[in-house]
Structure 1
Amino acid sequence: MIKHNTYFDGKVQSLGFERNGRRATAGVIDVGEFHFGTDAAERMTVVSGELLVKRAGEGAWVPYPAGTVFEVPAKSGFDVKATAPAAYLCEFL
């Protein structure tokens, strides 16, 4: 089953699905700055564009261009900033 998720007035959208028995989402982020909380640990792969990421407890924005990966611990959160539309794959660990 595929689930469509919409956040921040449609500026972030994703399709949720299961792959190899694990939950994942594939999505797009429009220009802007957004905060996400995490229940489970996540591995984010930037598919296209670039995302600037600031994890909970960190002070600096770190750029992640297409093809790079970052992880976020469970029960945490992160801020993401896009200066142009970007796409991602989020795998729940």
Structure 2
Amino acid sequence: MISANEYFDGNVKSLGYTSKTGQSTLGVMNAGTYEFATSKHETMNVIEGEMTVLLPGSSEWVTYKAGEAYQIEANEKFQVKVSGQTSYLCQYK
């Protein structure tokens, strides 16, 4: 089954699905700054564009470009800035 998700007044949209490797979402973010909260461990893969991210426990923003990934543990909050439409694959554990 495919689920549709929409956040931040439609500026972040994704499709959720389950495969043999587990749950994932495939989405797009419009330019903006966002704060997300996790309930599961997440691996965020940047497909196109770039994300500048402030991970939990860090005071330094790091930019991840297409082909790069970062991870966030369960029950954490993190911030993301994007300057233009950016696509991603988020995999949950």
State the TM-score, normalized to the length of structure 2: 0.97
The equivalent residue for 1:91 is 91
The equivalent residue for 1:34 is 34
The equivalent residue for 1:22 is 22
Q: Deviations over 1:15-35 (max 9, x none)?
A: 000011511000000000000
Are 1:12 and 2:16 counterparts? no
Task: Provide the aligned length of Structure 1 versus Structure 2.
Answer: 93
Q: Deviations over 1:27-65 (max 9, x none)?
A: 000000000000100000000000001112211110000
Give, as a single letter, the amino acid of the residue that structure 2 aligns with 1:20. K
The equivalent residue for 1:73 is 73
4+ residue runs of structure 1 moved beyond 2 angstroms?
none
Give, as a single letter, the amino acid of the residue that structure 2 aligns with 1:74. A
Name the CA distance, whole Å, in 1 between partners of 2:85 and 2:16. Answer: 19
Unmatched segments (≥5 aa) in structure 1 = none
Q: Counterpart of 1:10 in 2: which secondary structure?
A: coil
Q: State the percentage of identical aligned residues.
A: 39
Q: Counterpart of 1:75 in 2: which secondary structure?
A: coil
Q: Counterpart of 2:40 in 1: which secondary structure?
A: coil
- Distance change >3 Å, CA 45–CA 9, structure 1 → 2: same
Unmatched segments (≥5 aa) in structure 2 = none
Q: Counterpart of 1:56 in 2: which secondary structure?
A: coil
